Amino acid sequence: MAFIDSSKHKPLSNVGGLFIILSLAVALVLNLLPLHGIALLLRPDCVALLVLYWSINQPQRVSMGASFFMGLMMDVGDASVFGQHALSYSVMSFIALLMHRRLGIFSIHKQVPQVALLLLSAQLVMLLTGILINANLPEWDFLLASVSGGLLWPLLPTLVRIPQRRRPDSDAL
Amino acid sequence: METTPQFFRHGPGPLARLVFFVLLSLLLMVMDTRFKYLPGIRQTVAVAVDPLQRMAYFPTEIFDQVSGLFVSRSLVDEIANLRQQHLFDQGKLLGLLALEAENIQLRNLLEMELRMETQSTMAEILYIPNDPFSRKVTLGKGSLSGIQLGQVVVDDVGVIGQITRIYPWLSEVTLITDKDHSVPVQLVRNGLRSMVSGIGEDGTLELRYLAANADIQNGDLLVTSGIDGIYPPGLPVARVSKIESDTTYSFARITCIPAAGVNRNRQVLILSPLPSIPERPGEPVENISEVKKRGKVGLH
């Protein structure tokens, strides 16, 4: 997508576009892991989490276009209706784009509830489309993934920076 | 705090982009659900996702391989062969139950053609997608192996579902437990015909629109009736597990347990489509008079 590739417009960051793509691919693999039962229930939507992370920290590169495309990949991987994840990720990315300056004010632990709400917004969009296309409605506990995703948020900067030697933008969070 | 200088911004504003992507995804969803038509986009994305999906399933495969090492190699092959054989035999045996129950004389009277032997392709369940909005599994054979849309998938016990989406190497099966997926069935005990529909829960099916005084008992076996021309007749589908007949409603609430299950074994059979079905009247067919004649015979 154009938003990932626009690396020449990015003097601020030292994060490679390839690195972002690679991290999103890893998130996609994590999302497709064959889990069952409680593990499946609590497994956060890693793609949503990482899309959120990049749209907050690198809004010029990862934005709605990239989120939309990742959503399409998830749609195929999850065998859901084509466009369902794409819609929810773009909406989530939009809200993140509006909020990313405000989020920076808070410490990473205070960001947790806001991130959980952002993830919840994506899930609610999915639920809404699910109702519209008359699909199976999941149990309420599928919303737990947002909570676990939010709780994972403080660890995310560390996890993302493990393969990087330098901190991408030390004052972003 | 990160700043975004105005001159680095390019393209339309966030709201315009949101509207664009929302409209685009809505368009895709409408095309996917209403018209079942996506010109190759889904296939293209699938090519990108497939290696990642295989990677995600790599650990399970490694585990399978390692656990397989502990058993002697020849034994493994033999068991695999026997399993395949067993599955094929079961597939043929499935029709027997209904054959006994069917009225052969009636079939002769109607001059029905002898039932064609169904051919089948064996496939393995590769993934069980985690989508909470649908009940689907992904099989490891696709259009390159001659799989077509609408083919029926069974295991050694009964019907699992129907192929609803095809990729070159993969195909997706919508399970009979998926919401509003219906299978025309027949009671083995008395030949009563009805439809069994999924309600979106694993392990539960529902017999809808049967009168409260219909002759149904707990434990009744439901097999496919074959009148739809998609499901071959006589495949076990479900067993009646609970009957609630409330006199305030005109229909009984009948819950069934599906006979087959996807979590039981990895190998399934994809039955080939039934070849000799007369076209449905009312659709553009080349031989209208013949179809009309058949329709009259059926009504008698």
CA dist., res. A117 & res. B275, Å (int): 53
- Position A49 in a domain: yes
Whether the CB of A90 is below 8 Å from some CB of chain B: the reply is yes
- Position A169 in a domain: no
Question: Range of A130's domain?
Answer: 2-7+15-161
Distant-in-sequence, close-in-space partners of B132: CB < 8 Å, separation ≥ 6:
A136, A138, A139, A142
Cα-Cα-Cα-Cα dihedral of A56, A58, A64, A70, to 10°? -100
Whether the CB of A136 is below 8 Å from some CB of chain B: the reply is yes
Residue of B2, B30, B173 best to disrupt the A interface, most CBs of A under 10 A: B2
How many Å is the Cα radius of gyration of chain A?
A: 15
Q: If DSSP codes are grouped into helix, strand and coil, which group holds residue B284? A: coil
CA dihedral (B224, B226, B231, B232) positive or negative: positive
- Position A153 in a domain: yes
Which chain B residues are closer than 8 Å to A137 by Cβ?
A: 133, 200
**CATH annotation of B77-275:** 2.40.10.340
- Position A170 in a domain: no
- Position A166 in a domain: no
Number of domains in chain A: 1
pLDDT tens sequence for chain B (300 residues): 455 555 555 667 888 888 999 999 988 888 888 776 666 778 888 888 888 888 888 887 787 777 777 766 778 788 888 888 888 888 777 767 666 656 554 554 454 444 445 567 888 888 787 777 888 888 888 888 888 888 888 887 788 899 988 888 889 899 888 887 889 999 888 888 888 998 888 888 988 888 877 888 888 899 988 887 788 888 889 999 988 877 777 788 889 998 887 666 677 888 887 766 566 676 555 555 554 444 444 444
- Specify the pTM: 0.69
- Cβ proximity of B250 and B211 under 8 Å: yes
Contact B132 A129 (CB under 8 A): no
- Cβ proximity of A124 and B187 under 8 Å: no
Residue in the block written with tokens 């995600």: B56
- Position A44 in a domain: yes
Whether the CB of A18 is below 8 Å from some CB of chain B: the reply is no
CA dist., res. A126 & res. A96, Å (int): 17
Query: Which sequence spans correspond to the domains of chain B?
Result: 19-56, 77-275
Cα→Cα distances A81→A155, B35, B132, B200, Å: 32, 12, 12, 15
Whether the CB of A166 is below 8 Å from some CB of chain B: the reply is no
Q: How many CB atoms lie within 10 A of CB B57?
A: 17
Residue of B25, B62, B176, B205 best to disrupt the A interface, most CBs of A under 10 A: B25
